[in-house]
Chains A and B, each alone.
Chain A
Amino acid sequence: MDNTAVVELENLKVKLGRREILHGITCRLGVSGKGKAVGLLGPNGAGKSTLILTLLGFHRPSAGRARILGMDCRRSMGEARSRIGYMPENDSFIGEMTAVTFLRQMAELSGLPPKAALEKAHEVLFHVGLGESRYRELRTYSYGMKQMAKLAQAIVHGPELVVLDEPTNGLDPAARRRMLKLVTDMKAEQGMNVLVCSHLLRDIEQVCDEAVILKDGAIVHHCNLEEERRSNRSFVELEVTGDDQNLRMALPEIGAEGVSEGSGRWRIVLPAGVEVEAIWGLTARQNLLVRKLTHRRDTLEEIFLKAMGHLAHTPGESAAL
């Protein structure tokens, strides 16, 4: 079984001028051929774009090594690029070309024969919802259509890895939903690996299986969102009236742990397999009146805020302490 990482970084350092942007990043992201999505998060200036541009060979590492799909980003860049699709953040197209000609040219540049490139251009434009307007010049497109055209050119040659830089930036809610669905379909139906760079945490949470949080050119958190979703970080925010002094002692009855925040407020961590109904039963036995019960997990936003240093602990961690 091939366990080649989609992106593998070894002490990667990148300098732009005299300024070091990435300070020796080491990590393995994704597994080639699995159709998984990796999210790249971080505040402005964290080095997300620099990392993406280095992976694409636009910046040269000052030290260390970067590999995409097992290929070195410097030595085998030509081969790597034919297996990558890239959707840049900013407007990027040839305005005087029709969408179908533009896509055909891009597919041919990626190595597809002219006839196959034309067929794929039509197919992909229909897939992203631009089928009816494929013979229009790109400069006449709305912003949302241009975003879709950018996505189309990134996937027209059927790459193994698609790098998306802020794919939902500036899109209205309907277009955003459509874009995220396309990304989800790309990995689920076509088995493409996706690297999404975004500052919209909800988008990353929705489509990604892994997330990396960058801060000041270094990785501050790397989490497997799939595992996070499955883990016992499920917790309950509970508010009761009545004498809750015995609740702490009673929680182990259902295998849970909790911490009182005073005034009847509790944070309770539920172990795997224990459903929230157990809390209802426990509070009933303790003659407590439940005023509020929220069953939730740590959101990516909370994980992100903790990684950025704005939170000491995520709510789930606080409950477990």
Chain B
Amino acid sequence: MVLPRYAWRRLYEQRLVILLTMAAFVWPLLCAGFIYLTNHVELLQGLEPEFREFIQVDGRFFSIFMYVQAICAVFLAALAGPGLVAPDLANNALPLYFSRPLTRWSYALARLTVIVGMLSVVTWIPGLVLFALQVGLAGGWWFVANWTLGAGMVVGFLLWLLVLGLVAMASSAYVKWRIVAGAVSLAFFFILSGVSAMIDEVFRVTWGHVLDPAWSVNRVWCTLLGVDPPEGPGVGASLVALSAFIVLLVAVIERKLRPVEVIR
């Protein structure tokens, strides 16, 4: 845990990271207020029955919470993620790490742990707090009926964080310059989203969606939270596409995170 400890310290020395992390707590706080409201019927007396029906803490509520936090996580990963790997490559520090009892995989895992840990603070941890708040206010019966929402949220977020972490690491392994690497990791999602939409339009198909990792993760979330999925390929195809993305990103990291570059 030596590398994550030092990386964590360096990470929170950046003011922008702290500011963005704090900003990412606004939405969970609003959601907490919402949960409080839905569990206090006396406060909802004057509202229309349809509206009272609409504001329920269910899969749809958690999916909306997850969308917003997922977007925050994208920006946080693009801002802080490359700073963990790019400086090591730019300063040629990898030979120093790998001449010690540290393998390439343990180095990559340590960096990934830091990114996933940092993003967990604004994703599944506040999500679990909201879930616990709802259980506390609604009672044990709500937990028994909806525990899958909590589990689905944690699993869904972890899948998203894995993708974000690998994209941030792969882009910084390629670009080496922190700011550009951040821009590349943002562009990765926007460009793939655009490409998938273009394929769907040009060929009049829906399978192009799976080329957009954000869409694929969203499709998995819909299944995990039991909400209506968007039109397009099923959860199986989305999982296969995500697995392919992950393998590709791991291959990029494996290729670039080497102590010495061999010119063949």
Chain A residues packing against B (C-beta within 8 Å): 16-19, 53, 56-59, 78-79, 81-82, 84-86, 88, 90-97, 101, 105-106, 108-111, 153, 163
Contact = CB atoms under 8 A, between A and B. Distances in A.
B92 A109 contact: no
User: Interface extent on B, as a size class?
Assistant: 20 to 34
A110 B264 contact: no
B93 interface: yes
B264 A16 contact: yes
Contacts of B93: 92-94
A56 B99 contact: yes
A109 B7 CA distance: 13
Interface string B80-114: 00000001100111011111111100000000000
Interface string B189-205: 00000000000000000
B41 interface: no
Given A16-B264, A81-B101, A109-B101, A94 B88 contact: yes
Contact of B2 (A78, A79, A94, A109): A109
A7 to B, nearest CB: 15
The B interface, classified by DSSP as helix, strand, loop or mixed, is: loop
A17 B264 contact: yes
B99 A86 contact: yes
Contact of A92 (B10, B87, B95, B100): B95
A127 B102 CA distance: 26
B22 interface: no
Contacts of A95: 87, 91
B69 to A, nearest CB: 29
B250 interface: no
A161 to B, nearest CB: 11
B101 A110 contact: yes
Given A82-B101, A111-B101, 20 more contacts: A16-B264, A17-B262, A53-B260, A58-B258, A58-B259, A58-B260, A59-B260, A59-B262, A78-B101, A81-B100, A84-B99, A86-B95, A86-B96, A88-B92, A92-B95, A92-B96, A93-B93, A94-B88, A106-B96, A109-B97
26 contacts: A19-B264, A56-B98, A56-B99, A56-B259, A58-B98, A78-B101, A81-B101, A82-B100, A82-B101, A86-B95, A86-B99, A88-B92, A91-B92, A92-B92, A92-B93, A93-B93, A93-B96, A94-B87, A94-B88, A95-B87, A105-B2, A109-B3, A109-B102, A110-B100, A153-B96, A163-B99
B51 interface: no
Contact of B101 (A59, A79, A94, A153): A79
Given A78-B101, A81-B99, A84-B99, A93 B3 contact: no
A105 B259 contact: no
Contacts of A85: 99
Contacts of B141: none
Contacts, number: 74
A92 B91 contact: yes
A273 to B, nearest CB: 46
Contacts of B2: 105, 108-109
Contacts of B262: 16-17, 59
A297 to B, nearest CB: 36
A109 B100 CA distance: 7
A96 B87 contact: yes
A105 B5 CA distance: 10
Can you list the 3 inter-chain pairs with the closest CB atoms, starting with the nearest?
A17-B264, A86-B99, A108-B2
Nearest to A95: B91
Nearest to A21: B262
Nearest to B97: A109
B54 interface: no
Contact of A93 (B10, B91, B100): B91
A59 to B, nearest CB: 8
Contacts of A78: 101, 103
Interface in B1-46: 2-3, 6, 10
Contacts of B95: 56, 58, 86, 88, 92
Contacts of B264: 16-19
Contacts of A18: 264
B99 to A, nearest CB: 4
A90 B259 contact: no
A307 to B, nearest CB: 27
B96 A88 contact: yes
Contacts of A79: 101
Interface string B248-264: 00000000001110101
Nearest to A88: B95
Nearest to B259: A58
